[in-house]
Amino acid sequence: MNARDPITPAPGSGPVALTVQPEAARFNLRIDPGHLAAASEAFGLALPSVIGQGAQEGARRALCLGPDEWVLSAAGTDRDEVAAAFAGLDPAPPHSLVDISDREIAVTLQGASTVTLLTVGCPVDVERIGVGAGARTIFDGVQVVLYRDGPDRFTLEIWRSFAPHVLDLLETANRELAAGL
What CATH number corresponds to the domain at position 152? 3.30.1360.120
Please tell me the distance from the alpha carbon of residue 174 to that of residue 114, in angstroms, as a whole number: 9
Residue 33 and residue 87 in one domain = yes
Residue 134: inside a domain, yes or no? yes
pLDDT (0 to 100) of residue 65 = 97
Residue 38: inside a domain, yes or no? yes
Q: Could you list the residue range(s) of the whole structural domain that residue 30 is in?
A: 24-99
**127 neighbors 115 (Cβ within 8 angstroms):** yes
Please tell me the distance from the alpha carbon of residue 47 to that of residue 133, in angstroms, as a whole number: 12
| 68: DSSP letter | T
Residue 128: inside a domain, yes or no? yes
**134 neighbors 147 (Cβ within 8 angstroms):** yes
pLDDT (0 to 100) of residue 4 = 46
Tell me the CA end-to-end span of the chain in Å, nearest whole number: 25
**27 neighbors 72 (Cβ within 8 angstroms):** yes
pLDDT (0 to 100) of residue 90 = 84
pLDDT (0 to 100) of residue 14 = 87
pTM of the full structure: 0.89
**Residue-by-residue pLDDT tens, the chain, 181 positions:** 344 455 666 566 789 999 999 999 999 999 999 999 999 999 999 999 999 999 999 999 999 999 999 999 999 999 999 999 999 998 889 999 999 999 999 999 999 999 999 999 999 999 999 999 999 999 999 999 999 999 999 999 999 999 999 999 999 999 999 988 7
Residue 108 and residue 95 in one domain = no
What CATH number corresponds to the domain at position 38? 3.30.70.1520
Structure confidence by residue, pLDDT tens digits, 56-102:
999 999 999 999 999 999 999 999 999 999 999 988 899 999 999 99
Look at residues 84, 53, 57 and name the one whose alpha carbon lies nearest to residue 69: 53
Residue 32 and residue 89 in one domain = yes
Please tell me the distance from the alpha carbon of residue 133 to that of residue 126, in angstroms, as a whole number: 11
Residue 41 and residue 87 in one domain = yes
Please tell me the distance from the alpha carbon of residue 93 to that of residue 38, in angstroms, as a whole number: 8
- Contacts (Cβ under 8 Å, ≥6 apart) of 81: 74
